[in-house]
Amino acid sequence: MELEVRHLRALCAIADTGSLHRAARQLGVAQPSLSTQLRRIEQELGGPLFLRSHTGCRPTPLGRLVLSRARPLMADLHLLVTEARAAASGGAELRIGSTASKALAGWLRRLRAHGRNPSLHMNVSPNALLRMVADGQLDVAFVHEVEGCPLRIPAELRLRVLVEREPQCVSLPVDHPAAVKQEVDLADLAGDRWMIDPTVDGEWDAVQRMFRAARVSPHVLHGDYHTADALVATGEVVTVCQPTRTPRPDMAVRRLKGDPLGVRLLAAARTETDLDGVYPALEEAYGEVARQAPAYREWLERDWLDPGGPLRPPSPALP
């Protein structure tokens, strides 16, 4: 017997469900048929792949080895079918992954205007997105690297730096006493509650270092940044934000004095050709949102924003 795709699919189903009965139901086959198929697979591979008990099935060491190879094959097959269907329907999908950014809408709009068909996968973890690009699950990722917390960049990826150091700002209630200043000292916010998202790679460590350097110890709440925005607006917290964040009537965005917290913005793909196809649109989109943020625009123009044109950052050495 030769192994076929249906055999690998059956093994993955058994492992995922932990039960021959549930796997058979998921695959739409009778349990005795699946049991027979599993015995034949085990005979072909030379040993038991699962330990059966009254509590279900769990992989043996041999089973774990086989599954470690079977799962990527099944994922690649799924991608092959998805991409083939997209190409047959008028154009291959451009799979983009990104952490949060105001530039996303403009980037996607420009790509579509150039005949691309982008899809978007959001994740707070840049490391997870980079791994997905390396594994072929995404074509390109736009991510941030928090200063002092290097990303785990797979060796096979190609990088392009959009901004070497984007200074992070603070969003605070518009009636906060410190909001009258264009630059806010951390000491002025030491008595406030801060909300930080600890699931963002490197964010918690970097903010803690910033507090220690400023010799402040504010009370910190954990939560995602959508929740933080709502709480800032009601005066409950202050929070770190991107300099491209659009101020609102109930929320002010201010630079932190001395720019104590920064991130590097990167685009990553498996080939330079892939980057060439998406980077100019990303550069233009980022420049667009940068110009709409007055304080950030002033900072950028002082360094490397070409007024009316695309961003012209220096070309730093990549890691």
Q: pLDDT of 90-136, one tens digit each?
A: 557 899 999 999 999 999 999 999 888 999 999 989 999 999 999 99
Which residues are paired to 50 by β-bridges? 59
The pLDDT tens digits of the residues spanning 167-226 come to 999 999 999 999 999 899 999 999 999 999 988 899 999 999 999 999 999 999 998 888
The pLDDT score that the predictor gives to residue 179 is 93
Round to whole Å and give the CA distance between 219 and 19.
47
Q: Which residues contact 297 (CB under 8 A, 6 or more apart)?
A: 290, 291, 305
Residue 319 predicted with pLDDT over 50: no
Amino acid at 17: T
Q: The pTM is what?
A: 0.67
Tell me: pLDDT of 239 over 90.
Answer: yes
Whether pLDDT at 309 is above 70: no
* Cα separation, 104 vs 157, whole angstroms: 21
Domains and CATH numbers, the chain: 5-87 (1.10.10.10), 90-163+264-293 (3.40.190.10), 166-262 (3.40.190.10)
Contact 49, 60 (CB under 8 A): yes
**DSSP H helical ranges for 96-193:** 104-113, 126-134
Residues ≥6 apart with Cβ < 8 Å to 130: 141, 143, 151, 152, 153, 154, 157, 268
